[in-house]
Amino acid sequence: TATQPTPTPTSTATPVVERCEYLRNGNFEAGPNTDAWVATNSSNRVDPLIYRTSARTGIYGGWFGNVLNYTDILRQVITLPADRRDATLRFWRYVRSSEAVSSDRDTLQLLLIGANGSEQIVKTITTAVTRNQWQLETVSLDLAAINGSTITLAFRGNNNGSLVSSFYIDDLTLTMPCGDGAQGAAAAVAAADLPDERRTAAVATGAAAAAAATCTNRLVDGGFESGRLGVGWAAIANTSTRVYADPAIYTRRPRSGSYGAWLGASNLNSVWNELVQTVQLPGNIQSVQLRYWRYLETAETDRARVYDRFTAGLETDKGVQIVTPQQIDNTSSGRSTWVQQTLELPNAPDYSGQTIWVSFKATTDGNQPSSLYVDDVELVVCGG
């Protein structure tokens, strides 16, 4: 009897599960005025958290922080498909901070919030991570056990009362098997979407457009080397009983060169003084950032209560604050050393062609004196 050939097994192809995108306005390019994202904060401020000055690509990005004692949340309700396995969230983040390099005091958290308000912290990014460059985060989300048809995805920023930090996010995607709630087929992960170590702090706003734009320092005599007022800067000072002439620019403690600014006083109490420069912004600007070095000197010994305070701010030419000023006071860290700080102007394009003030102010009480020395000040304007 002839031997029959062994039959060849029939192979069955593994079905390919089509994946879809579930986030709306994940790249923020629809701007802040949509119903995709909802922004809230601890101070009830008008703060949409979606700005033109914080994009990795395109025009818009998410921006958290930059305000002391501040919590801000950006959230979106996601409609879930029946098959929720293998949910993957990808987003880019960029961290800028005035905190010490090793400090983890300020944070950005990724949350899942259930229909009953329960919170699951999926990931926490602190100011101790590598700063001043865009980094890609890829997070697997366990949604299979979620009861109900929706889940809220949220980012929560938190700044403590010490030094300010900013967290930027952009180009978010949330992919799952296609089903209810899908916004369209998932885009392939581009080869370019790999961590780019070449993005550095020189990209002042993190925006691709700003990176390509011309950035210039618009301040005159930011190093105070003229040695006098009138070359860019103006000043006013008074105590509780009198207005007095204060040159504001001294040789006492410069960071570089021979001169620097001095606010407060070493031998006077109840002092108020201010140093101001008027700046005309060009048209079509993309970003504005104030950079300065400060040195805090105080005779106050109580580090729990604020007695003497100093601020750095940006104002209209009528003295109206256009961003929350940065406060340095007798409780601040970084005493008796030079510390660089930065202050970004939100919605900078809205101020194209306008005149603004750069201001440094001091208010001290009647107890122990305090001084703030300022030097090497820049107002870096990109675009225009």
Give the model's confidence band at 236: pLDDT under 50 very low, under 70 low, under 90 confident, else very high: confident
Per-residue model confidence as pLDDT tens digits over 38-76:
999 999 988 899 987 668 888 889 999 988 899 999 999
Per-residue model confidence as pLDDT tens digits over 106-153:
999 999 999 888 999 999 999 999 888 889 999 999 998 888 889 999
- Which of 167, 206, 166, 212 has the alpha carbon at shortest distance from 54? 206
Q: What is the dihedral of CA 275, 278, 283, 286, to 10 degrees?
A: 0
At residue 193, does pLDDT exceed 50? no
Per-residue model confidence as pLDDT tens digits over 331-373:
998 899 999 999 999 889 999 999 999 999 999 988 889 999 9
Tokens describing residue 1: 């009897």
pLDDT of residue 296: 96
pLDDT of residue 318: 84
> What value does the mean pLDDT take over residues 86-101?
91
Question: How large a percentage of the chain has pLDDT more than 90?
Answer: 58
Rounded to whole angstroms, how far apart are CA atoms 210 and 228? Answer: 34
Q: Which CATH architecture has domain 215-383?
A: Sandwich (2.60)
At residue 209, does pLDDT exceed 50? no
Rounded to whole angstroms, how far apart are CA atoms 381 and 161? Answer: 28
Query: Could you check whether 19-208 and 215-383 share the same CATH topology?
Result: yes
Q: Is the dihedral of CA 157, 39, 209, 378 positive or negative?
A: negative
Q: Is the dihedral of CA 317, 320, 323, 325 positive or negative?
A: positive
- Determine which of 191-200, 209-218, 341-350, 370-379 has the lowest per-residue pLDDT on average: 191-200
- Determine which of 168-172, 292-296, 317-321, 338-342 has the lowest per-residue pLDDT on average: 317-321
- The residue that leads in pLDDT, 21 or 271, is 21
- Determine which of 26-35, 185-194, 333-342 has the lowest per-residue pLDDT on average: 185-194
At residue 22, does pLDDT exceed 60? yes
- What CATH fold (topology level) applies to the domain 19-208? Jelly Rolls (2.60.120)
CB 269 within 8 A of CB 355: no
User: Mean pLDDT, the chain, as a whole number?
Assistant: 86
Vertex 155, ends 153 and 160: CA angle to 5°?
A: 150
- The residue that leads in pLDDT, 57 or 211, is 57
pLDDT of residue 20: 92
Per-residue model confidence as pLDDT tens digits over 244-298:
667 899 999 999 999 999 999 877 677 889 999 999 999 999 999 999 999 999 9
Rounded to whole angstroms, how far apart are CA atoms 29 and 52? Answer: 9
| Domain range summary for the chain, segments of one domain joined by + | 19-208, 215-383
